[in-house]
Amino acid sequence: MPKLPPLNERAQHLLKVLVERYIHEGQPVGSRALAREAGLNLSPATIRNVMSDLEQLGFITAPHTSAGRMPTVSGYRLFIDSLLTVKPINDQVIRQIRDDLGHQESSGDLLETASRLLSEATHMAGLVSLPKRESSAFNHIEFLPLSEGRLLVILISGQQEIHNKIIQSPRDYTASELQAAANFLNHRFAGKDIRQVRETILHEVSETRERLSQELIDAAAITQLALDPQGERRDSVLIRGEINLMDFSEIGNLEPFRSLFETLHQQEDMIQLMDRCIESPGVQIFIGEESGHKALDHWSLVTSAYSINDQAVGVLGVIGPTRMAYERIIPLVDLTAKLVGAALNHKTLPPL
């Protein structure tokens, strides 16, 4: 049995051409076509030998005996990691994204627009995970007593986003007590991270409990409740253009599309998946099974984190068929993430 050759230059080049052609045509690539396309002046027979090697190594596979070959997940992975040559983005597209993002009022609208733009530019689905309230800046807080000992907390974050929350108050407070607590928080913490605010308060109270007035301890308790991130996950991933994905499902077998659709709208799963991309900088790609979700098996996810003040706060990207035009999509997602970050930074205003 002959030893498998390492992947030489020629084999890599052929793999690259094969993947490119498969992405473009959507059909298994045969030796004849590959010989023509590769520009190496080799006969189909020679190509066949190389293809056979590539198949042994697990980079390509044939759906049946008399069909051409198509890339496996490892094939796509190798292609993306070391063979891909990205294409520069059309200037007009850049301009449109920047303009559309620039004209949005609230940061919520801005992120929604980003999702829509991604979907329109790619004819696939756009995904944007909202920043966790936790990681945005504390700007202003206000307490409003409701009936039955409940309190309405109004929290304004750095991007002028307004969050409402109703909490059960530990005891009855007078309006002026609440006002005092709010004033204290607004002066002391404006501009800080919300998570930081929570942790600082927690820390200080436990340190100096005995020296604090009951009022301050109470205020701290309310604030803890108010800033508690629990139960704060409504519509945290904005999906646009999901219907576009229908076109990539083979006709007559829509089950894959259906379960993809259901998974996409399963907030928890998607948040978890997107969160895995927030740590690493640059563009992240999940190909087929790599995501670990059954429903995403035949789809790829291209994502990038977007940042406010150099801190990654959310993730955006695109989902589409495994055979998507990565050389176009990757720079597009990268750019969009940067423009969204820039637009958000621009929106960040000084505290009230």
Per CB under 7 A, residues contacting DNA are: 28-33, 41-46, 48-49, 51-52, 55, 62, 64-69
CA atoms within 13 A on the CB side of 215: 9
Instruction: Give least dist CB 10 to DNA, A.
Output: 7
Q: Which does 243 bind (CB under 5 to 8 A by kind): DNA, a copy of itself, none?
A: a copy of itself
Q: Which does 252 bind (CB under 5 to 8 A by kind): DNA, a copy of itself, none?
A: a copy of itself
Instruction: Give least dist CB 258 to a copy of itself, A.
Output: 6
Q: Which does 168 bind (CB under 5 to 8 A by kind): a copy of itself, DNA, none?
A: none
Instruction: Give least dist CB 111 to a copy of itself, A.
Output: 14
Neighbours of 269 (CB within 10 A): 18
> Which residue, 251 or 352, has its beta carbon nearer to DNA?
251
Neighbours of 71 (CB within 10 A): 24
Q: Which does 325 bind (CB under 5 to 8 A by kind): a copy of itself, DNA, none?
A: none
> Which residue, 162 or 217, has its beta carbon nearer to a copy of itself?
162
> Which residue, 22 or 138, has its beta carbon nearer to a copy of itself?
138
> Which residue, 265 or 338, has its beta carbon nearer to a copy of itself?
265
Instruction: Give least dist CB 113 to a copy of itself, A.
Output: 13
Q: Which does 32 bind (CB under 5 to 8 A by kind): a copy of itself, DNA, none?
A: DNA
Nearest Cα residue to 69 out of 86, 84, 57, 80: 57
> Which residue, 27 or 106, has its beta carbon nearer to a copy of itself?
106
Q: Which does 29 bind (CB under 5 to 8 A by kind): a copy of itself, DNA, none?
A: DNA
Q: Which does 349 bind (CB under 5 to 8 A by kind): DNA, a copy of itself, none?
A: a copy of itself
Orientation of helix 326-347 relative to helix 91-102, angle to 10°: 30
> Which residue, 80 or 137, has its beta carbon nearer to a copy of itself?
137
Orientation of helix 44-56 relative to helix 9-25, angle to 10°: 90
b/e sequence 312-339, b meaning 16+ C-beta within 10 Å: bbbbbbbbbbbbbebbbbbebbbbbbeb
DSSP string, 255-320: HHHHHHHHHHT-HHHHHHHHHTTSSS-SEEEEEGGGG--GGGTTEEEEEEEEEETTEEEEEEEEEE
| Residue carrying the six token digits 């966790």 | 132
> Which residue, 32 or 294, has its beta carbon nearer to DNA?
32
Residues lying near a copy of itself in the complex (CB under 8 A)? 140, 142, 144-147, 152, 154, 156, 160, 162, 164, 166, 243, 246, 251-252, 254, 257-258, 261-262, 349-350, 352
Query: How far is the C-alpha of 35 from the C-alpha of 30, rounded, in Å?
Result: 9
b/e sequence 94-128, b meaning 16+ C-beta within 10 Å: eeebeebbeebeebeebbbbbbbbbbbbbebbbbb
What residue type is assigned to position 125 of the chain?
A: A
